[in-house]
A and B are shown apart, each in its own frame.
Chain A
Amino acid sequence: MSGLFEEIHEQPAADVPTRRVSITVNGDKRVAQVEPRLLLAHLLRQGLKLTGTHTGCDTTNCGACTVLFDGKPIKSCTMLAVQADGHEVTTVEGLAGASELHPIQEGFKDEHGLQCGFCTPGMMLAAKALLEENPDPTEDEVRWALSGNLCRCTGYQNIVKSVMWAAKKMQAQSAS
């Protein structure tokens, strides 16, 4: 990798001002040398090769780049990688357990909450943040919580059903 993000053991180009960042991504501590202007979304995608985080716009509207930042959903196209220094980031790649899917992932599959799959990672992470804050949301609350995430394929209805499905499953899991 050139310039924008160097693995720490590599020597960054001398003429480019860079900063060292240490970010816990999906539970693993990752260290990188980055230009201050590098967007977090690009560090995740190109630097760390976590390409499940997508970019669908350049005005912070679409939410395809949504990741969890210390547990809260943020649009990673609108945060600099250096701002994430010392923080915890969860991407779609960190959603599933070692052997089984997260209930939200299962819900999206079972309720046909995705088609092209481009909005799906951001959508699921926004849903995860919602369900951690509000384990038993109404459909209106789900729609509100996902209103920062655009989808062009599903017409949203099956996404709402997917999140409700996951909520039910997560409640059953925590009850047992």
Chain B
Amino acid sequence: MNTGENPPTQFVDNDLKPVGHGRMLRKEDARFIRGKGRFIDDIQLPGMLHLAILRAPIAHGRIVSVDVTLAEAHPKVKLVGTGAMLAEHGLAWMPTLANDVQPVLATDKIHFQWQEVAFVVADDRYAAQDALELIDVEYEQLPVVVNARTALEASAPVIRDDLAGKTDNRCFDWETGDKQATDAVFARAEVVVGQEMVYPRVHPAPLETCGAVANYDPIDGDLTLWSTTQAPHAHRTLYSMVAGLPEHKIRVISPDIGGGFGNKVPIYPGYLCTIVASMLTGAPVKWTEDRFENLTSTAFARDYVMHGEIAATKAGRILAIRTNVLADHGAFNGVAAPTKYPAGFFGVFTGSYDIQAAHCAMTAVYTNKAPGGVAYSCSFRVAEAVYLIERLVDCLADQLGMDPVELRLLNLLKPDQFPYTSMTGWIYDSGDYESTLREALKIADYAGLRREQAEKRASGELMGIGVSVFTEAVGAGPRKDMDILGLGMADGAQLCLYPTGTAVLRVSCQSQGQGHETTFAQIVAEEIGIPPADIKVVHGDTDLSPFGMGTYGSRSTPVSGAAAVLVARKVRDKAHLFAATMLEVTVADLEWRKGSFHVIGDPAKSLTIQQIAKWAYGTGQLPDGVEGGLEAHIHYHPENLTYPNGAYICVVDVDPGTAVVTVRRFIAVDDCGTRINPMIIEGQVHRGLTDGVGMALMEMITFDEDGNCLAASLMDYLLPTALEVPDWETGFTVTPSPHHPIGAKGIGECATVGSPPAIVNAVVDALKPYGLRHADMPLTPSRLWEAMNGNAQPPM
């Protein structure tokens, strides 16, 4: 027991036993390696019922009739819900995060295949599935729009006839940059290269699907909802807005989440069905979707058709970027992006380069597909932006006959240009891109790789080297600019030191595997000098943690992390006042050494933070105007995003006989500023690089002309196994963010964003002997074989 006289834990400030930043094994692992995690489907409550959803087999059509008689007669069925029933409660439609609307259950029309039509609540999940088959729905099919390129044709059927006055499938138009200035630069440029490229529709496919358990207490009117949400507080507010329940009577609990990757940001119809079902049955109700439902109806990612142009001098000076984008948003605009950013942060498409002008014009369209767009570690469309610029730079290098690394070195922003305001108005905080790239070149032995490639080419082997030097934009966001449905993108933090000198930190971010329970303890440990083991991190329960916007867009470290630092400093400042009182000196007489205050010039007189914590709750005379106890709360708005960067080099071999691509080496050098836990950063990078291999080579959600989803299971939606990925080679540089309290930038999505262009650049490089300039992802053997034979096709 800690008496306050002897601190309970001795700690050493080194890598093996860090008191703050540094490699530290994870607290979370203890339960996960024993099978004692608490995931949504592990929850079993007394009397709990099971909900299953009936989905439409067609992509576009009218509902003629829904007959639930047989399902209701099933002996284990307690409730059958239909769109008509929800409409009676005013709950048939719900708002999306993009201020559009989406049906909870279809009332009169189907907008995409496997859309929600009805639900069944039964004693167990097998019976619920049985009863789904007893529901008889008659549909009248309508013509289908699956290809965004045809969505605006006059003959295209209007998908969203629910929207007043809607006569076409235009979702929105958006533009950024200076069109006139950009066109002027292009008109006089010596070299202009254009390339159309598709970032195909993919899916984040977290290994745990989405689900919820709703428990409505009809006596108190309290709703408890356990759900797979990355943003529990924002969800609570939205449920209040949608369902009309008072917000203080809604408790959203996000338990352990088996991966999110952006898939678990939106509110899905299944969550609301579960709530309604619990309110109507008076029992707890569980819904767990299966993989097929997850892939076909929850947030997809990407689906941008991009036409990019790059203007340059003959010597390789990049002058301007011009781009047109056709964005496929599916049947409802469900993008999870800040309100004023319908295209997310796509505006950062000017990348890591010092250019004179840029412009983007975008049109988003509705199609008969599931909603989504922003997911899968995209940092709000930065994935698409980075892919565009990094492919375009390679196209330019090819045109000029320059080495892609040399071309980049010639154009990278220089350290003294930061903070740098891009031609589309983004203020990059810091960067030393050349150092990051040179570190990658060193690890890769780039010159050696090019020599090896020349030898292999001479003997007919196909080896390619691809480079990507990217700038990310993470940490949404500043209050004046960024909100989701009117809620500013801030995060809260509360820190309480208990009388015995241990602490609880409550935060609004929500880990889905990123290690927050460990790293947030490290952040606080570094600031107040108590060991991470003595700090519990509480998150994911809206009754227990402060309001904030959750975890996505790599925003936890930039926003919640900053909040944790600042709340710890607030507590330390109060401890400073107490220490001065306790030692009968002035505040100025004390200096802080991690974990204790010392009287300057009198090393014998000092107090540990644990001693001060005990005194804070004790009987001593408090300083004037200061309350007892040792805790603080803040609500933090970042002043800017953080802009981590990276330099990636990919080495591939392509089998000329089968077009099978092997990623032989991948070198990833990341710079996310101050590194809180290098072990965890490395794991995050490995994850994102694997995403990159998946997207570049294997993954695609595709549809046939009738709107049937052709990648509705893991039989067809291919994810990398241990066999498809190499041993990753990682490195780092450290360029702190000047506006973040510890200089830390986000990192989680960097590798997902930065790796696909490196892989595609490598494959295209390998196929130089075939005269190939571009091929669209995924570079599956069949698609690449066609490209090698001059028949490259855009993905559909």
Contact = CB atoms under 8 A, between A and B. Distances in A.
Interface of A: 2-4, 15, 35, 37-38, 42, 45-46, 49-59, 61-62, 64, 91-93, 95-96, 101, 105, 108-110, 112, 114-121, 124, 139, 142-144, 146-160
A105 B28 CA distance: 13
Interface string B108-126: 0000000000000001111
A54 B26 CA distance: 21
Contacts of A62: 207, 291, 714
Given A58-B292, A115-B513, A115-B514, A37 B126 contact: yes
B723 A143 contact: yes
Interface of B: 25-26, 28-37, 39, 41-42, 44, 75-76, 123-127, 205-209, 256-259, 261, 290-292, 512-515, 679-680, 682-690, 713-715, 719, 721-723, 725, 727-728
Contact of A160 (B26, B31, B683, B722): B722
A38 to B, nearest CB: 7
A152 B36 contact: no
Contacts of A15: 75
Nearest to A109: B29
A147 B295 CA distance: 21
Contacts of B208: 54, 56, 116, 118
B574 to A, nearest CB: 35
Contact of A58 (B34, B291, B512, B685): B291
A143 B44 contact: no
Contact of B207 (A2, A56, A108): A56
A152 B725 contact: no
Given A156-B722, A156-B725, A59 B33 contact: no
A33 to B, nearest CB: 14
A152 B32 contact: no
Contact of A45 (B41, B719, B721): B41
A92 B35 contact: yes
Contacts of B261: 152
Most chain A CB within a 10 A radius of its CB, from B32, B44, B126, B684: B32
A108 B33 contact: yes
B765 to A, nearest CB: 23
A42 B288 CA distance: 13
B30 to A, nearest CB: 8
A96 to B, nearest CB: 6
A62 B39 CA distance: 17
Contacts, number: 186
Given A109-B29, A114-B29, A156-B725, A91 B35 contact: yes
A120 B690 CA distance: 17
A57 B259 CA distance: 14
B126 A38 contact: yes
6 tightest A-B contacts by CB?
A52-B35, A117-B32, A116-B513, A155-B686, A118-B258, A92-B35
B35 A115 contact: no
A150 B719 contact: yes
A64 B722 CA distance: 14
Contact of B126 (A35, A55, A109, A143): A35
Contacts of A117: 28-29, 31-33, 37, 256, 258, 513
B259 A152 contact: yes
B687 A152 contact: yes
19 contacts: A2-B123, A3-B126, A52-B34, A55-B41, A56-B258, A57-B714, A59-B715, A61-B714, A95-B34, A109-B26, A109-B30, A112-B679, A116-B206, A117-B29, A117-B32, A143-B723, A150-B719, A151-B722, A160-B727
A156 B515 CA distance: 17
A109 B23 CA distance: 13
B39 A118 contact: yes
Given A58-B290, A117-B513, A157-B727, 4 more contacts: A120-B33, A143-B723, A150-B719, A154-B687
Nearest to B686: A155
B76 A3 contact: yes
A148 B44 CA distance: 29
B35 A46 contact: no
